[in-house]
């Protein structure tokens, strides 16, 4: 299986468990690795024959900006569901990074994988 990736997608979102976090937007950075078979697209050179990562990015941005999640774990799980259910991706790795969440740390977040790479 091939991988189509989208890394460094930066979104301002309401995310966090503390009251003060619910009143502001914080930066989250999202990395996606999505399983795909790109042979048909490579042969045809047509975007309709591949996973349209621009459409995926727009949907993920909308989800992150409007979701109002408390946990990065929940956001990551919802992103994986969108990729699999709405875009037919059989396997996805989602990394959600919340830079600055821990003082002295460059970033903190979660990395999940859903589906099969077969």
Q: H or E element: which one contains 91?
A: strand 91-97
Q: What is the DSSP letter of 32?
A: E
Asked if 90 and 66 count as a contact pair (C-beta separation under 8 A), the reply is no
Residue of 27, 40, 46, 98 marked active site: 98
Cα separation, 76 vs 70, in Å, equals: 11
Kindly report the number of other CB atoms within 10 A of residue 104's CB atom.
Answer: 4
Is 58 assigned a catalytic role?
A: no
Residues labelled as active-site residues: 98
């Amino acid at each position: 299986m091939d991988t189509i990736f989208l890394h460094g997608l930066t979104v301002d979102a309401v995310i966090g468990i503390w009251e003060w976090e619910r009143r502001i937007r914080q930066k989250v950075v999202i990395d996606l690795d999505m399983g795909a078979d790109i042979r048909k697209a490579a042969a045809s050179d047509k975007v309709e024959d591949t996973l349209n990562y621009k459409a995926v990015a727009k949907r993920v941005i909308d989800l992150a900006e409007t979701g109002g999640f408390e946990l990065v774990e929940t956001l990551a799980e919802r992103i994986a569901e969108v990729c699999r259910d709405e875009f037919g991706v059989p396997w996805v790795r989602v990394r959600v990074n919340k830079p600055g969440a821990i003082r002295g740390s460059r970033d903190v977040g979660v990395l999940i994988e859903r589906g099969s790479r077969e």
